Structure 1
Amino acid sequence: MTKTAVLFPSQMNIDPNEYRALFDQVPIMQNRFAEASQILGFDLVEAFFSDDLDEVNRGIVARPAIVSISAALYEWAQDYIPSPSYLAGLSLGQLTAAHISGALTFSDLVRMTYTMASLEEKHFADKDYGVHFFYNIDIDKLLGVMEEMESKGHYLKACAYTASNQMIVCGSLSSMGELNLRVLELGGIGVEIPYGPPAHCPLMEAVKREFSRNWYYADDVKKPKIPLICNISTKVLDHPNKICNALIEQYTMTVKWTQTIEKMAALGVKRLVIIGPGNFIYKSLGFIPVSFEVECYLGLHDMLEKSAARRMSE
């Protein structure tokens, strides 16, 4: 049997009502949002489907919504995909993967996403930082420019290696502005990532400490039924303690997404299934030097297409 891995997405910028049609037509998603609303103590449907772009993309709203959508899509897609050999997620997606593995309950998943976002909002309100996605750039050259700039007093840190020619970087606003100019000179392009704190870098140390002190699991963390690939070390996580530690440590450590995908290939994975909102993971795979069969469940279109294909085959 072909080895399959399922991948889950990070937080991304979402337009108001972008997933309304999916919500209206998929009872599983309605159930997940209802459950999440009860856990959070506010109406996630009303907040996430607001016409206010800023409200929709606040971490305390967007993250519980994204993991709810991803969990619902996975539940629906189980009729169409084989049981995966591995799971992994990019940033926020690693929390979703931990839930799908059976390690975290949905309740703790939602609580964790909300708690993390709340702490980040408190610590980074009106702070002088920026997060940018750089692409079409030689990573070694980009790292060299960053090292040079840091030696001159700039603050720049790698958040995530997302492909062979792509990287997410955070830093002070002035440093990010100058880095963008330097990247243009090298033929690359930088795009600001709105609504995101400076994740996966030392700036998160205070948030990580506070989260570690105050967080508790309402339910027991269990041994995963499906092993996870750690997105910061690429190690296989098959024990509750290892999963709990990795979810916290990714706060201050660079995500090695490119290396995570390469590790899957080394483990014999031939097929990747991407489940959850956005198409960033799918696009990034085109710039990672390994080849897989890829299938996506990103939203309503994919669900309708797959359902229609099954009806025709029957």
Structure 2
Amino acid sequence: MRAFLFPGQGSQAVGMGAALAEASRTAHDVFHEVDEALGQNLFRLMREGPEEELKLTENAQPAIMAHSLAVFRALTKDGGVDLTKAANFVAGHSLGEYSALCAAGSFDLATTAKLLKLRGQAMQQAVPVGVGAMAALLGADLALARRIAEAAAQGEVCTVANDNDPTQVVISGHKGAIDRAIELAKEMGAKRAIPLPVSAPFHCALMQPAAEAMRDALGYVVVKAPAVPLYANVTAQPETDPDTIRNQLVEQVTAMVRWRESIANMSAAGVDEFVELGGKVLGGMVKRIAPDSKVTSVVTIEDVEALAKEIA
């Protein structure tokens, strides 16, 4: 059994998609369609930078999705791969959940781009710059990360944002609390605590205004049942019901990304091959969660052609 995975924020890099668009008209058309939907030359920003602008949440989110979908469409349209025959499940890390749903037919590409642009803007605006922060706790599992966050909170928000794998958990909240957590982490048993270069504290209660903005936006959007079940970030369980998916996308803004559990549950369900489309971040996490599984990252046209040959 196989699952297709879609990366989240942090996978952006200047130059992303440029070679793929030159090699594949299908991929080129994806970038063009996203530009049209947003009324923005996002693909030029992806190709040429500047990096600071690409890293802005409102640009990074649709850019990462566009890159993943360009890879996915090159694989399916050019490579002749049928999603329903090639994959049993899809899943995405945070914003990658939108990419996964677009690939599975729940949203069209233009709608996905607009939703992610709005999501990025709403997350950025939810908390003034400098008020929130995030940190990665390395060598810490979920239980330890929760203890560290609890000890550091002192009346402020400090919670687990991403349970990524057995050795890496990300916390999010008020900057003061995150700073305290970084100080406490080592003495409480974590190997290291690293502040993350993010512009807002994602996946915590401070994101509630962004969750409300997404509730409004998703209320106007048609959500179709995905062609294959989506393993949802908020439940780590497979889902196909459109209304449930809509509600989970709202909840996801403030809730913990249960990535470790999602991969473990897919593995327990029989998935032994994971394919990451448009990035190389999730593969390492998967290997730490399900070490016996086969992991493939598909980024270049050569990657696309090799995978298409293998599974078409």
* Common topology (TM > 0.5): yes
User: For the structure 1 residues 134 and 24, does the alpha-carbon distance in structure 2 shift closer, same or farther, using more than 3 Å as the test?
Assistant: farther
Shift of residue 155 of structure 1? 2.9
Which of 133, 142, 147 lines up with 1:144 in the alignment?
A: 147
CA distance in 1 between counterparts of 2:75 and 2:33 reads 20
Structure 1 counterpart of 2:173: 171
Aligned CA-pair RMSD: 2.3
1:31 maps to which of 13, 19, 29: 29
- Unaligned runs of at least 5 residues, structure 1: none
| Amino acid in the other structure paired with 1:159 | A
Go from structure 1 to structure 2 and tell me whether the alpha carbon gap of 1:159 and 1:80 turns closer, same or farther (over 3 Å shift).
Answer: farther
- 5 Å-filtered alignment, 1:195-274, equals 195-217=198-220, 220-274=222-276
SS of aligned partner of 1:255: coil
Identity %: 21
Note closer, same or farther for the CA distance 1:192–1:280 as it changes in structure 2 (3 Å cut).
farther
Equivalent residue in structure 1 for 2:46, among 42, 45, 48: 48
CA distance in 2, matches of 1:130, 1:38: 33
**Rounded Cα–Cα distance in structure 2 between residues aligned with 1:195 and 1:110:** 21
The equivalences for 1:1-314 within 5 A come to 3-12=1-10, 14-78=12-76, 79=79, 83-150=86-153, 152-185=154-187, 186-217=189-220, 220-277=222-279, 279-289=280-290, 291-300=292-301, 302-303=303-304, 306=306
Output the amino acid matched with 1:7.
Answer: L
- How many angstroms does 1:290 deviate by? 5.3
Residue 187 of structure 1: how far off its partner (Å) = 4.5
Residues in 1 aligned to 2:233 and 2:289: alpha-carbon distance in whole angstroms: 15
Report the CA distance between 1:264 and its aligned residue.
Answer: 0.5
What is the TM-score normalised by the length of structure 1? 0.88
Give the gaps of 5 or more residues in structure 2: none
What amino acid maps onto 2:28 in structure 1?
A: Q
SS in 1 for 2:234: coil
What SS does structure 1 have at the residue aligned with 2:297?
strand
Aligned length: 304
